[in-house]
Amino acid sequence: MKHRYLPMTEQDRAEMMETVGIQSIDELFADIPQSVRYQGTMPMSGPLDEYALLRHMKGLADKNADFDTHASFLGAGLYDHHIPVVINHIISRSEFYTAYTPYQPEISQGELQAIFEFQSYICELTGMKVANASMYDGATAFSEAAVLAAGATKRKKLIVSRTVHPEARQVLRTSANAWGLQIVEIDYKDGVTDLAKLAEAIDADTAAVLVQSPNFFGGIEDLRQIEPLIHAVKGLLVVSANPIALGVLETPGKLGADIVVGDAQPLGISASLGGPTCGFFAVAEPLMRRMPGRIVGQTVDRNGKRGFVLTLQAREQHIRREKATSNICSNQALLALCASVYLSVMGKEGMREVGELNIRKSHYAAGRLAEITGAERVFTAPFFNEFVLKLPEGSSVSEVNSKLLKEGYLGGYDLGRDYPELAGHMLVAVTEKRSKTEIDEFATALEGCI
């Protein structure tokens, strides 16, 4: 009897083993050392009916500390921003969540237009001329920007600030190793890039300077000072930006950036226990043909009716490998749609308002937490919605966070994990969702946990 939902029968299995010349399935794993194989049976329950299984899975899910059960003061790349309910309604339509790559424009106009709108929004936010259809995430976009800069300038030296997200720098180093690029890291001063050390490091071999603003510490970099330093040697300026901050700050494009990248997670995308997210990538017009991924363009059909098509796909799937700019073969279309819906719902006024709320609430929190005995803010540079708080001498951030978790709070990021000199320092994030009451109660709880 054929079982419709089973991938194969025992007879199928036996015939396949005979074809490949093995006596048991275990022989397929012969090259894996016994020391790293799992011994015995995985711990699991017996068979459950549907209702029992749903209750069991809900019980497991309820063990998570999430944004619904805890007030989050944890950012460091993933943020607890408000997600308008209309977003999940729209992305739940099957036309979007089941859509494949829109190679056939005649049947993919809705998907193509959604991507085109995303590109248009990103250009407006960043002040750049051209944006692609999205990237896997912000870190991927950051490393691809570095590779683009090296190829465009035909130089091997990349200068990156230590205030850039540590994980983005890790991805950059991985890519740089494969491409034979040299990475030079510049230290920070008062929470932002040390401009004096940056100026010393830049020379005629420098392909690009890569900075993040607002940076990993929340500090706003002085792009007006950085831009002439790199352009004086005909290198490129790469800026990683927080899209929410772009609602209130001057666009990187107007400040001289050649490439602007970032993570679109703050734009209506759920943190989802760590991902996936969606990266954005925008460039000045001269670099358009070097962009990774794909671009959706607007055109007209033979009857003069507006339509959308895929254009400029300079990747190995479509052109000779040696001429490809990247091996990025896809984009985050569904999550880019989240960002597009968010931006259309918020509008210019809404983006400015949510940005201002992030600034006001985080600055109130910074002042309130600095009142804790023995705690202090260590940087005075302007910041957006994150700031660094030094805990009293001898405090362990991880231990404090464990206590805060029991009190119903997701505490700040332990900076000692990535910056040894900042052991005992907490990176605190405050978004528009945090109320004054929550901030005050968090300050009280933090003081009690130290």
pLDDT of residue 314: 54
Kindly state whether residues 298 and 370 are assigned to the same domain. no
Neighbours of 2 (CB within 10 A): 5
Kindly state whether residues 115 and 179 are assigned to the same domain. yes
What's the CATH number where 364 sits? 3.90.1150.10
Kindly state whether residues 406 and 428 are assigned to the same domain. yes
How many whole angstroms separate alpha carbon 82 and alpha carbon 351? 12
Kindly state whether residues 360 and 317 are assigned to the same domain. no
Domain C-terminal end among 342, 360, 393: 342
pLDDT of residue 38: 79
Answer yes or no: are the C-beta atoms of 262 and 241 closer than 8 Å.
Answer: yes
9: in domain: no
Tokens of 118: 């995303």
Residues forming beta bridges with residue 219, ordered by sequence position: 383
pLDDT of residue 17: 94
> Residue 222: CB partners within 8 Å, gap ≥ 6?
192, 195
48: in domain: no
Kindly state whether residues 281 and 374 are assigned to the same domain. no
Q: Could you tell me the sign of the dihedral formed by the alpha carbons of 313, 319, 325, 330, in that order?
A: positive
Phi-psi region of 418 (alpha: psi -120 to 50; beta: other; left: phi over 0): alpha
30: in domain: no
> Residue 17: CB partners within 8 Å, gap ≥ 6?
23, 24, 25
Domain C-terminal end among 310, 342, 374: 342
Kindly state whether residues 75 and 89 are assigned to the same domain. no
193: in domain: yes
Neighbours of 212 (CB within 10 A): 26
| Cα end-to-end distance, the chain, whole Å | 66
Q: Phi and psi of 396, rounded to 5°? A: -105, 120
Kindly state whether residues 363 and 392 are assigned to the same domain. yes
User: Which residues of the chain have a pLDDT value below 50?
Assistant: 316
254: in domain: yes
Tokens of 56: 């069991």
pLDDT of residue 95: 87
User: What pLDDT digit, counting tens, does each position of 74-95 carry?
Assistant: 999 999 999 999 999 999 998 8
Residues forming beta bridges with residue 295, ordered by sequence position: 311
- CA 403 remoteness from chain centre: 28
Phi-psi region of 300 (alpha: psi -120 to 50; beta: other; left: phi over 0): beta
38: in domain: no
Kindly state whether residues 184 and 316 are assigned to the same domain. yes
Q: Phi and psi of 7, rounded to 5°? A: -65, -30
Domain C-terminal end among 325, 342, 359: 342
Answer yes or no: are the C-beta atoms of 375 and 392 closer than 8 Å.
Answer: yes
Residues forming beta bridges with residue 376, ordered by sequence position: 390
Kindly state whether residues 307 and 162 are assigned to the same domain. yes
Kindly state whether residues 376 and 311 are assigned to the same domain. no
DSSP line for 261-324: EEE-TTTT---TTT----EEEEE-GGGGGG-SS-EEEEEE-TTS-EEEEEE---STTTS-GGG-
Tokens of 65: 């500390």
How many whole angstroms separate alpha carbon 440 and alpha carbon 364? 10
What's the CATH number where 271 sits? 3.40.640.10
- CA 276 remoteness from chain centre: 8
46: in domain: no
Kindly state whether residues 101 and 79 are assigned to the same domain. no
How many whole angstroms separate alpha carbon 93 and alpha carbon 334? 11
Q: Could you tell me the sign of the dihedral formed by the alpha carbons of 83, 115, 172, 145, in that order?
A: negative
16: in domain: no
How many whole angstroms separate alpha carbon 259 and alpha carbon 145? 7
DSSP class of residue 127 equals T
How many whole angstroms separate alpha carbon 385 and alpha carbon 433? 12
Query: Would you say how long the chain is, in residues?
Result: 450
The whole domain housing 384 covers 71-83+347-449
Q: Based on the structure, what is the number of domains in the chain?
A: 2
Q: Is 76 helix (H, G, I), strand (E, B) or coil?
A: coil
Kindly state whether residues 298 and 197 are assigned to the same domain. yes
Q: Phi and psi of 375, rounded to 5°? A: -95, 155
